[in-house]
């Protein structure tokens, strides 16, 4: 049981580290891109502000025909973060740690 909890903690920790790392690394780039096209970025206090700006930046890049490397790198890191968190959730459900 303790090994399962350790693996669970590692998956959650790495998933959150990937997510926050992506937000810190690519957040300013996404906001600058949105601002450069005349849109105003979402208020920072809003919990999903970066994801909202990312979706807006992706839409604008597709509309203007821009190919932005930082958007694709942000997508990859977010997919890895979510995969780690889903693995942790599955380990938690299957192992019975919740009981």
Q: What is the pLDDT along the chain (99 residues), one digit of tens a residue?
A: 688 889 999 999 999 999 999 999 999 999 999 999 998 888 776 667 888 999 999 999 999 999 999 999 999 999 999 999 999 999 888 887 666
Q: Is the pTM of this model over 0.95?
A: no
Within 13 Å and on the Cβ side, how many CA atoms surround 96? 1
Helix ranges (DSSP H) in the chain: 2-36, 49-64, 69-95
CA dihedral 76, 24, 33, 44 (to 10 degrees): 120
C-alpha dist (Å) from residue 24 to 20, 42, 46, 50: 6, 16, 16, 10
How many domains, in total, are found in the chain?
1
Per the structure, the complete domain to which residue 48 belongs is given by: 2-95
Two tokens at 90? 């599955």
């Amino acid at each position: 049981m303790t090994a399962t909890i350790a693996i669970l903690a590692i998956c959650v920790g790495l998933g959150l580290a990937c997510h926050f790392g992506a937000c810190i690394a690519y957040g300013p780039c996404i906001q600058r891109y949105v601002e450069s096209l005349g849109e105003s970025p979402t208020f920072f206090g809003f919990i999903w502000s970066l994801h909202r700006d990312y979706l807006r930046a992706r839409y604008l890049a597709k509309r203007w025909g821009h190919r932005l490397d930082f958007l694709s790198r942000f997508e990859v890191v977010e997919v890895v973060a979510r995969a780690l968190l889903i693995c942790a959730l599955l380990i938690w459900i299957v192992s019975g740690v919740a009981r």
